[in-house]
Amino acid sequence: MNTQSTLIKDFNLNELPVGAPPKLSPANGDYTKAAKAILEAERVVVKIGGGSRGAGSELVELLELADGVAVISPVVSGVIPYDNPRNMTVGGSKGSLSGNYAMDEADLLIAIGTRFVCQSDSSRTGYPKVKQVININADIEDATHYNKSIALLGEIKATLGKLNNSLRDQAGTGSHAGSPWFTDCSDKKAQWEAYKKARYDNPTLFDEVWKKEVLTQPAAIKTVVDWAREKDAITFFDSGDVQANGFQIVEDDIPGRTFNETGGSYMGFAPSALMATAMADHSFYGIAMVGDGSFMMNPQILIDGIEHRAKGCVMLFDNRRMAAISGLQHDQFGVEYATNDTVEVNYIAMAKSVKGVSAFDGGCSVESLNIALDKAKAHDGLSLIHIPVYAGNHELGGLGVYGRWNVGNWCQDVQALRHKIGL
């Protein structure tokens, strides 16, 4: 850990490795056994992880052949279209009403290219009724993570192709559109859509800090991601409450519209990611979605972005607290402690103090925020939009929590459930 850098004189560049590693082969596993288990199950859930990028068509085919529903990890929004009727959206410790329902009720899990962390499987309690796992992964430790697993170790796209062939050979290609499992999950997704719409239709609440009606985070984030979709901009979500709401909101149709650092808790990830706009082979407009707490951990982009000619916008959602931890404190203890402050910060003046940065007030309405977004986009360089947002316990102020998390005073119950499930 204490290695110091040094100059190597006359280094021969031919000694460096070149080229990408060879592509893996499909798994050399028991596809017949895996397909038989899938077809005998009544409630199949397919967990789609980061390793599934590039296998969208195979995933869609698998869902139909298996009469399964998909639950996505936060890092792969768009790997199958959001509006695919078998996409139950995100599931895990934060999760969603529809995604976590599918996880809680499934009797067979097909885990594809996924790690097993809190935001993915609720600290290993996400599948209480699953009796069999089909685990497809290129990493042997991940492929054998769960007990009761049929592990298919290999390149995911090719492995899915062979599994789909085996499913077709055993069961044909009949439609399962009216099955009880698909119907139940579809009803839950409709409830989730209605739940979100109620928050979008009521975009402002009175906030005690701001002493006025301000946008809620769900409404503000929805406004920005809809604008980004229309302008073909790329969004980066920082760690914290903004990200937790964000991956419940985004409705991507293709991969690559949305990026987040789920699992790393790297405060400052999103603004830092705007540097990619200065380095990418193909130019794009980037939007960093970040809360005030995470932004202050790393505001360096205000300087580096100008130095290297980044082009994008920092969307600063300001509730004068680290809201993810405040929310956790409320859930566990009924009160927040030392996660908010009374210090007023003029982030617009802060941004404008850096020559070349343009800064705007996002206001307290959907209309004013859209106007600010258009102004920021018109600026040839880096900009910042400050958005005061609601923080509090009003039911319309957030999108809820649907899973479990092995943290704080929940640990005893979560760990007991994990061992009871025994998966």
Tokens encoding 309: 């000619």
Shared domain check, 111 and 240:
no
- Number of domains the chain contains: 2
Mean pLDDT of 59-68: 96
Alpha carbons 317 and 291: distance in angstroms, whole number = 5
Is the pLDDT score of 10 beyond 60? yes
Per DSSP, helices labelled H in 55-174 are 56-66, 97-105, 118-121, 140-143, 156-171
Shared domain check, 379 and 263:
yes
CATH number of the domain to which 37 belongs: 3.40.50.1220
3 state DSSP class of 289:
strand
- Which band of pLDDT confidence, cut at 50, 70 and 90, is reported for residue 303? very high
* pLDDT digit string, tens, across residues 167-205: 999 986 556 667 999 999 999 999 999 999 999 999 999
For residue 150, what are the domain limits?
31-192
Residue 83 lies in a domain: yes
Could you tell me the CA-to-CA distances from 363 to 73, 200, 288 in Å, in that order? 32, 17, 18
pLDDT at 270: 96
Shared domain check, 379 and 303:
yes
64-68, 87-91, 278-282, 335-339: the lowest-pLDDT one:
335-339
- Buried b / exposed e along 158-183 (16+ C-beta atoms within 10 A): bbbbbbbebbeeebeeeebeeeebbe
Coarse DSSP helix, strand, coil percentages of the chain, rounded to the nearest 5 percent: 40, 15, 40
Could you tell me the CA-to-CA distances from 31 to 106, 130, 145, 170 in Å, in that order? 21, 19, 19, 11
Shared domain check, 223 and 341:
yes
Residue 230 lies in a domain: yes
Q: Does an H or E element contain 271, and which?
A: helix 269-273
Mean pLDDT of 43-51: 96
* pLDDT digit string, tens, across residues 376-415: 999 999 999 999 999 999 999 999 999 998 888 999 999 9
CB of 317 closer than 8 Å to CB of 389? yes
Shared domain check, 125 and 250:
no
Is the pLDDT score of 125 beyond 80? yes
- Which band of pLDDT confidence, cut at 50, 70 and 90, is reported for residue 360? very high
Q: Across all residues in the chain, what is the average pLDDT?
A: 93
Shared domain check, 182 and 218:
no
Greatest mean pLDDT among 73-82, 352-361, 407-416 lies in: 352-361
Alpha carbons 207 and 200: distance in angstroms, whole number = 17
pTM of the model: 0.92
Greatest mean pLDDT among 3-7, 138-142, 175-179, 194-198 lies in: 194-198
* pLDDT digit string, tens, across residues 226-276: 999 999 999 999 988 899 899 999 999 999 999 987 667 789 999 999 999
Shared domain check, 305 and 219:
yes
- Percent of the chain residues topping a pLDDT of 70: 98
Residue 408 lies in a domain: no
Shared domain check, 311 and 360:
yes
> At which residue do the structure tokens 């319309």 appear?
396
Tokens encoding 316: 């600063």
Q: Does an H or E element contain 351, and which?
A: helix 347-352
How far apart are the two ends of the chain, measured CA to CA in Å?
Answer: 37
Shared domain check, 184 and 43:
yes
Mean pLDDT of 325-330: 84
Shared domain check, 325 and 241:
yes
What does 18-53 look like in DSSP terms, one character per residue? Answer: -SPPPPPPPP-S-HHHHHHHHHH-SSEEEEE-GGGT
pLDDT at 176: 66
CATH number of the domain to which 290 belongs: 3.40.50.970
Residue 242 lies in a domain: yes
Residue 107 lies in a domain: yes
